[in-house]
Amino acid sequence: MSGAGGTGGGAGPGMLRRLLRAFEEAAPGEGLAQIADRLGLGRAEAADMAGYWVRKGRLRREEIGAVDCSGCFFASRGCTTCPDGSAAVPRPSLVALTPVRQNPKGTA
């Protein structure tokens, strides 16, 4: 069980802030799975918490690769459409979560 104020495990306000800070301080290539493990969270719980920060505009969710790509030669070159007109076969894409840097007040 989580402690009062979300200081233990679980999705309290303190853990939400810890997750955001972990993304802000993450090493290059460190992903949600590693951050969840480091914070002692389940991956589904960490994903739900990250979704909260995406909705609040503090994390950016970016899909890298096309979700509906057929996996042809052109797809590996960054194309997002199927040039041969064949039906696209769904395949997973890489999802990146990156912190949105907040500008200090009074700066452009």
Which residues sit opposite 94 in a β-bridge? 64
Q: pTM, whole model, 2 decimals?
A: 0.62
Q: What is the pLDDT of residue 16?
A: 94
* Per-residue pLDDT, 4: 34
In the chain, the number of structural domains is 1
Domain for residue 1, yes or no? no
Task: Identify the domain containing residue 16 by its residue range.
Answer: 10-98
Lowest mean pLDDT of 4-8, 55-59, 61-65, 79-83, name the range.
Answer: 4-8
Residue 57: give its domain's CATH number: 1.10.10
Q: Is residue 15 part of a domain?
A: yes
Q: Does residue 105 fall inside a structural domain?
A: no
Alpha-helix runs per DSSP H in 1-108? 13-24, 32-39, 43-55
Higher pLDDT, 84 or 1: 84
